Structure 1
Amino acid sequence: MKKIYDMLKLENIKILPGVKDWREAIHVAVKPLVDGGYCEERYSDEIIKNTEKLGPYYVLCENVALIHGSTEQGVLKRQIAITLLKKPVKFKTDGYDVRILITLAATDAESHMEVLQAMSELFESQESTKKVLDASNEKEIYDLFVKAV
């Protein structure tokens, strides 16, 4: 339970009207982590390069993307940011509509696993996903994630 409090801060949750494309989605999703000193500015550029090479490997399902790069691509401290887009974005033409961007800055391969497990359980339920999509403020989203752990 404690790890979610260490890895998700209320100030790293944002609700935005929308973005012009997937590249902007990555930049806005990573921005709270850059602003908080959890990763370097280049982290979003590295994720964009990865996407151009590998495709949108982080789109998990309809509405949900777990945006992340590797630890050596500018991660300073472990943390999660959540961005809810009111208008969905597509990461490829025939791909899913995505509105929930979970951005992960991980310093190693293990320390964030408990949090990822809780998130997968949260999004396993359509009802829980709908609650996140319908959230009217950042605190609501924070409470949903904390409750999932």
Structure 2
Amino acid sequence: MEDLKDLLPVAAVRLDVRAADWRGAIAAAGRLMVETGATTDEYTREMVANVEENGPYIVIAPGVAFAHARPSPAVLSTGMSWVRLAEPVEFGHESNDPVTLVVALAAQDSSAHTSAMASLARLLGDPGTAAALAAAPTPEELHAVLAGEPSEDGPEESAPATTSEPATASGPSATPEPATAAEPAEPRADSLHKILTVCGNGVGTSLFLKNTLEQVLDRWGWSRFITVEATDTISAKGKASEAVALLTSREIARTLGDVGRPVKVIQDFTSTAEVDAVLRDTYDV
């Protein structure tokens, strides 16, 4: 599996990009993947069509959109791009708009980029690293933050944290977060539980949410009792009976409808505190 720095070269990073609307923002991210040889222009159209069909579920956190589509012949190699906008744009998301960062993913399959998704989830979920990424003046310095390297200005930049607090405007210490509460007692070990994280395609936002959920399970010491599977909406309907719950965005929850298992909505896919609270509600702990 490839790391984030391998899938996201410096040439695929652009800062202070101007876009008229969300389609323009996705187009800017798509052009970078075309220029770096990851995709053809058709994949950019597929990313736009994904939002048109499924809604703005790709806006995974306040100000952050994760543009992607299904693996297709338009993907020449697994790759990513990073576009920081000069002015925010609206995607139509009821809680996470407006968007200032568009990260795009082109995946040839569902496995090659899982390590990169885990790294990205931790980076964006760590307030210090998120601030360093937002303030990086050049693509080279932003790429150094992504790679966990110290900046030229000193050692203050945060490397990816092993655990994360949600990146809020007031900072991680403004109010006690649910994730700081005592870890729940271990569940009964007579069966292995499954939780599904769901998105439109099963290769992007569902993997992102899976990694945030696994951070919380690791913190609780529950990882050996619960398996997490990232999947798409169609597969989720068939697999729902195997799961304790399904975690997803509001838009995808509407698409899923009643699947016979609790469908839990997560607004901020980078927030371990929000996922912690949803997990506590699911298991009544």
TM-score by length of 1: 0.91
SS in structure 2 of the partner of residue 38 of structure 1: coil
1:90–1:43 CA distance, 2 compared to 1 (3 A)? same
1:5–1:125 CA distance, 2 compared to 1 (3 A)? closer
Q: Is the CA contact 1:56–1:91 (under 8 Å) kept in the aligned structure 2?
A: yes
Q: Could you say which residue in structure 1 is the equivalent of 2:47?
A: 47
Distance in 2 of aligned mates of 1:116 and 1:60: 13
Q: Identify the structure with the greater helix proportion.
A: 1
Q: Could you say which residue in structure 2 is the equivalent of 1:85?
A: 85
- Give the percent of matched residue pairs that are identical in Structure 1 and Structure 2: 25
- Tell which has more relative contact order, 1 or 2 (C-alpha 8 A, sep 6+): 1
SS in structure 2 of the partner of residue 71 of structure 1: coil
SS in structure 2 of the partner of residue 47 of structure 1: helix
SS in structure 2 of the partner of residue 76 of structure 1: coil
The within-5 A match list for 1:122-141 is 122-141=123-142
Distance in 1 of aligned mates of 2:41 and 2:89: 22
Amino acid at match of 1:27: A
Residue 105 (structure 1) shift: 1.0
Amino acid at match of 1:71: P
Please say which of residues 105-114 and 91-100 is displaced more in the overlay.
91-100
Structure 2: unaligned runs, 5 residues or longer: 149-159, 162-285
Q: Does 1:57 align with 2:57?
A: yes
Q: Could you say which residue in structure 2 is the equivalent of 1:113?
A: 114
Q: Identify the structure with the greater strand proportion.
A: 1
Q: Could you say which residue in structure 2 is the equivalent of 1:102?
A: 103
1:121–1:136 CA distance, 2 compared to 1 (3 A)? same
Q: Could you say which residue in structure 2 is the equivalent of 1:76?
A: 76
Question: Which runs of structure 1 show a deviation greater than 3 angstroms over 4 or more consecutive aligned residues?
Answer: none
Amino acid at match of 1:131: A
Q: Is the CA contact 1:99–1:133 (under 8 Å) kept in the aligned structure 2?
A: no
- Give the aligned length: 149
1:2–1:44 CA distance, 2 compared to 1 (3 A)? closer
Please say which of residues 20-29 and 67-76 is displaced more in the overlay.
67-76
Q: Could you say which residue in structure 1 is the equivalent of 2:12?
A: 12
Residue 47 (structure 1) shift: 1.3
1:2–1:24 CA distance, 2 compared to 1 (3 A)? closer
SS in structure 1 of the partner of residue 118 of structure 2: helix
Q: Is the CA contact 2:5–2:146 (under 8 Å) kept in the aligned structure 1?
A: no
Structure 1: unaligned runs, 5 residues or longer: none
Distance in 2 of aligned mates of 1:132 and 1:73: 32
Residue 83 (structure 1) shift: 0.8
TM-score by length of 2: 0.49
1:73–1:51 CA distance, 2 compared to 1 (3 A)? farther
Please tell me whether Structure 1 or Structure 2 has the larger radius of gyration of its CA atoms: 2
Q: Could you say which residue in structure 2 is the equivalent of 1:29?
A: 29
Q: Is the CA contact 1:26–1:44 (under 8 Å) kept in the aligned structure 2?
A: yes
Residue 56 (structure 1) shift: 1.4
